[in-house]
Amino acid sequence: MTPRLRLTLLGAALAALLPGTAAVIGRLPEFGATIATYGERINAIVPKERHVANMVSAINFDLRGLDTLGEEFMLLAAITGTVVLLRGRRGEDMTDRAMRLPGRAILPRSEAVVLTCRLAGPLLMLFGLYIVVHATVTPGGGFQGGVILASGTLLAYLGEGYSGWRDVVRSHWLDAMEGGGALLFALCGLAPMLVGAAFMQNVLPFGTFRDLYSGGLMLIENLGVALAVCGGFTQLFLEFLEETREADGPDEPGEDTA
C-alpha cells in the first residue's frame, strides 16, 4: 500500500466519522445542566448503602462489578497476546545488551536527566499509590493508579539506562502481579458464594463514609485491579523496550542508552 493510498483511506474514514462526531458533540448537555436521572439515583443510594464517596469506584466495583471483571480479563488476554507476539524466541537472558545501529551515535544521558528521573520516580510512584488507596474517597482508583505506577517505572529506564532498567524490572514479577491481580478480583466474586451470598456480594464491613477504609469488598477488588494494571502495563513497556536489545550479546561498560 502506498503512502498516498493510506492518506486517501484515512481521509475517507475521517469524512465518514465526522458527521456522527458532530452530532454527538451537538447533543452534549450544557455545562452545569441537571444531572441525569441515573446519576441522581447513584448519588442518592451509594453514600448511604455503600459508604463510598467516589461514585465512579462504586459503579466499577459494585453496581457493575461483573462488567469490570470482564474488562480485567480482556486486559489480561490483550497483554498476554502482545507478550507472546513480541517475546518470540528472544528469551529472558539478563546479560543481553541494548542494540546499536551502525552510524547512529549513542548520546550519553545528561546529569540533569538522571537527577530528574531519580527525584521524580519515587514521587510519581508515591502519587500512584495515593491514587490507588483513595479509590473509595476521592477520584482515582486501581485503574488510574496502576497506570501511574507503571509509568513511573519508565523513569528508571530514562534515568538509569537499559542495564538499570533490567536490574529493577523482572518479567516473572510482572506476570505474577498481572495474573495475581486478576485472580484476586475473581476471588472477590467467588469467595462470598462460600458463605451463601451472591457472586461479588459484599460480605465485609462497609466502614465509615469518607474514610480511607470504606467500601468493604471494593477495597480488595480495587487492589486486584491496581496489581493487574500496574503489572500488565509495565509488562508491555518491558516487552517493547526489549525489542531494542541485541540478543546473545554480553554487557559492556557504557552500552546502555535512554
Query: Is the pLDDT score of 258 beyond 50?
Result: no
Mean pLDDT of 81-91: 74
User: Could you read off the pLDDT of 49-59 as tens digits, one per residue?
Assistant: 999 999 999 99
CA distance 101 to 244: 10
Largest Cα–Cα distance in the chain? 68
Residue 249 has pLDDT above 60, yes or no: no
pLDDT at 109: 82
How many other C-beta atoms can be found within 10 angstroms of the C-beta atom of residue 87? 15
Residue 156: the pLDDT is 87
Q: pLDDT (tens digit, 9 = 90+) per residue, 215-233?
A: 999 999 999 999 999 999 9
User: Which distant-in-sequence residues (6+ apart) come within 8 Å of 64 by Cβ?
Assistant: none
201 band by pLDDT with thresholds 50, 70 and 90: very high
Domain ranges of the chain: 53-246
Does residue 37 carry a pLDDT above 60?
A: yes
Q: Look at residue 5 in the predicted model and tell me its pLDDT.
A: 93
Cα separation, 65 vs 169, whole angstroms: 31
